[in-house]
Amino acid sequence: MGSLVIAIDGPGGSGKSTLARELAGRLGLERLDTGAMYRALALAVLRQGMDPGDARGVTELAGRVRLEIEGSAVRLDGEDVSAAIRTPEVTRAASAVAAHPGARRVLVAEQRAWVESHGGGVVEGRDIGTVVCPDADLKVYLTADPVERARRRSAELAGAQAADAAADELARRDRDDSTRATSPLDVAPGAVVIDTTGRPVEGVVDQILSLLEKR
């Protein structure tokens, strides 16, 4: 099949990770969760006692840490931090860290290198279709009703956060991620917009597979 690249963007709780996992499985591709990279960098920032708003410090640290993503496992300098990056504190810091253009440059370069070395893949994030892989074979932008997104996010956190707290948090992150100056969350030119509200993932996967066939 050559190097097939599928870009999946959308806000938190829109269903990106579930879709990316299923799609990668069906197509025999690997998947890259770029949000996990921003989260792991945010964890490193917090562990250093650094301010997530410190552009220079965060950018410098981005160039120094070693981030490895393998499926759902995330390693920071060799340590498995897959669970540690899912706390509300890291979630907040990740949004701040992701606003720094310098840090984004470092991570975007690593993401492109990942796609290159894996011969394509399913890549999910906020700027995949717009910045990381603008030439992707298929670009998908997921949306979902805010109430459903908050419910999914709170379920994902396994009760660590109540649904109303998750809703507030998501609304704040949507605003921050969509209004930042560098690579804001946006629908890429040519992206297919899919509303996943009330839709089981299988149906969305089938829709995307048929879009791929029609290309």
Binding track over 109-128 against ligand DC, x by CB under 6 A: ----------------xxx-
Name the segment binding ligand DC (CB under 6 A); options: 31-39, 50-58, 63-71, 199-207.
31-39
Q: Residue 64 Cβ, how far from ligand DC at the closest point, in Å?
A: 19
Q: How far is CA 89 from CA 43, 46, 102, 152, in A?
A: 9, 9, 22, 18
Contact residue for ligand DC among 12, 15, 120, 129 (CB under 6 A): 12
* Nearer to ligand DC among residue 86 and residue 199 (C-beta): 86
| Residue 15 touching ligand DC (CB under 6 A) | no
Distance, CA of 120 to CA of 116 (rounded, Å):
6
**Encoding tokens for residue 130?**
């717009």
Nearest C-alpha neighbor of 185 from the set 197, 176, 194 = 176
**List 38, 103, 129, 141, residue binding ligand DC (CB under 6 A):** 38
**H or E stretch covering 33:** strand 31-33
Answer yes or no whether residue 95 interacts with ligand DC by CB under 6 A.
Answer: yes
Tell me the window of 32-40, 53-61, 71-79, 114-122 that interacts with ligand DC (CB under 6 A).
32-40
Q: Is 154 in the site for ligand DC (CB under 6 A)?
A: no
Residues 5, 121 contacting (CB under 8 angstroms): yes
- Is residue 62 within 8 Å of residue 102, measured between CB atoms? yes
How far does Cα 192 stand from its chain's mean position?
A: 17
Q: Please state the φ and ψ torsions of residue 5, each to the nearest 5 degrees.
A: -120, 125
Contacts to ligand DC by CB under 6 A: 12, 34-35, 38-39, 94-95, 98, 125-127, 173, 177
